[in-house]
Chain A
Amino acid sequence: MTTRLEACSSADRGEYYRTAFGLALSIDARISIPGLGQSPQAAAAAPPSRVRLDADGLSRRWKAITSLPERLRELRFNDELLLSVDFAEPAGYLMWARDFGRVLISPDGIELLCEPDPAVEHWANILPFQALPLAATIRGLEVLHASGVVLGGSAVLVTGPPGAGKSSLAAALVRAGGQLLSDDAVALQLMDGVLIAHPGSAVLQLRAAEDARLSAEQRVVLGRAASTVEDKQRYISDHSPEPAPLGGLFLLERSDEEPAAEQLAAVDPFELIASTFNLSVRTPVRLRRQLDVVFAIASGGLAHRLRVQSGVNATQLAATIEAHLAAAI
């Protein structure tokens, strides 16, 4: 672990290129982030966001701030602080997460400097789960808290409260032939009136109980089995799909009735706004974009309600979605 701290202060030792959340990424070779896209076209299309291990640089920049830090976000559980985001000029957004460390994201989202917690092996998980979605939001994409797959050339997203079964449903949709966009966050981009869904991290995390119900053949379809994190079995896909037009956003809702999907003629816009991922960036440009994306989902007839019973079989739900989409076409 000492070597990692030394590495933080040493010179750059190389980089590799990936894509995620609509961003081209240049990543310090000492940082391992599995499940990111490898599209060379995307990497060439935009200036990359650079992800670097640089604890010294982070500290230096944060010490040089010229404004009082503004606390933009706190995430707590039982009064215990788990995550915070502060902003100060000219350094940018300082994200801290317990058991992960700190990431400083420049005001333009181009540079991410990492100071990992040396005691935590999986510290880099903060990047795809929190820091990269924030950088994507800064750089002009709208990230939804949703799982999603590409099915039949279109992106199918599922959003709902924590524990509603988004990951299980994404896994079932992958088993039905879909390609995983993400099981946690997907970036949307409004291009010429069309919403394009960009993959996040193609790492699927299934609860142990859900994983135990799968056969060996079903697990293979989900990707490489990796280590468990917090009682969740992780599967990593090495083949992140290309961005795809949004075909539907399904809003999960608990119900006592049989699983059913319906297209929402009059979706509650605030329910859609609540599904957006990042509340730290509240610039006028971002707020306007957030409203435009939500409006495009609603006016495009892309919002659907998916009613689910507690404990319902994810495979059955995936079939409900497939049948609903087929009927809509």
Chain B
Amino acid sequence: MQIVPQLSDQELLETRVRLPQHVVHRGFVAETVVLNLRTGKYHGLNPTAGKMLEALDAAPTVADAVPLLAAEYGIEQEQIQRDLLPLARALLGRELIVAANDDTA
């Protein structure tokens, strides 16, 4: 697992993240499968986490993904942020997403 710099919540919210080229994902009905082509490891995400992954990849910053997801699920933004930040850290740690200025992407 990649050693991720300890970003504060605010720093992470201001970060732009992307799926790197070595990561592919497919959305199945009950699960999103994320494949790291470098490690050969498959990862499973539940549908909500899969939707969050897509939002993280599309949004300009992590913070921008929050209102999109809140609108989609009809949940308060604070609740979305509480769920999204640990997921983003876990995905960064597994190199399934990277900071957009990361040259290794």
Name the residue on B nearest A265 (C-beta): B29
Q: Are B31 and A291 in contact (CB under 8 A)?
A: no
What is the total of A-B residue contacts with beta carbons within 8 Å? 41
A292–B26 Cα gap in the complex (Å)? 8
A1 at the interface (CB under 8 A from B): no
How many angstroms between the C-alpha atoms of A120 and B40 in the bound complex? 37
Chain A contact residues, majority secondary structure: helix
Number of interface residues of A (CB under 8 A): 17
Residues of B within 8 A of A284 (CB): 22, 37-38
Residue B28 is within 8 A (CB to CB) of chain A in the complex: yes
Q: Are A288 and B37 interface neighbours, CB within 8 A? A: yes
Q: Are A298 and B28 in contact (CB under 8 A)?
A: yes
Q: Please, which residues of chain A bring their CB within 8 A of the CB of B44? A: 269-270
Given known A288-B24, A291-B24, contact A282–B40 (CB-CB < 8 A): yes
Chain A contact residues, CB within 8 Å of chain B: 265-270, 273, 282, 284, 287-288, 291-292, 294-295, 298-299
10 closest A-B pairs by beta carbon, nearest first, are: A266-B29, A284-B37, A266-B30, A295-B26, A282-B40, A269-B28, A269-B33, A298-B28, A291-B35, A287-B37
- Add 11 more A-B contacts to A266-B28, A288-B24 (CB < 8 A): A266-B29, A269-B44, A273-B42, A287-B35, A287-B40, A291-B24, A291-B26, A294-B33, A295-B28, A298-B29, A299-B28
Residues of B within 8 A of A (CB): 22, 24, 26, 28-31, 33, 35, 37-38, 40, 42, 44
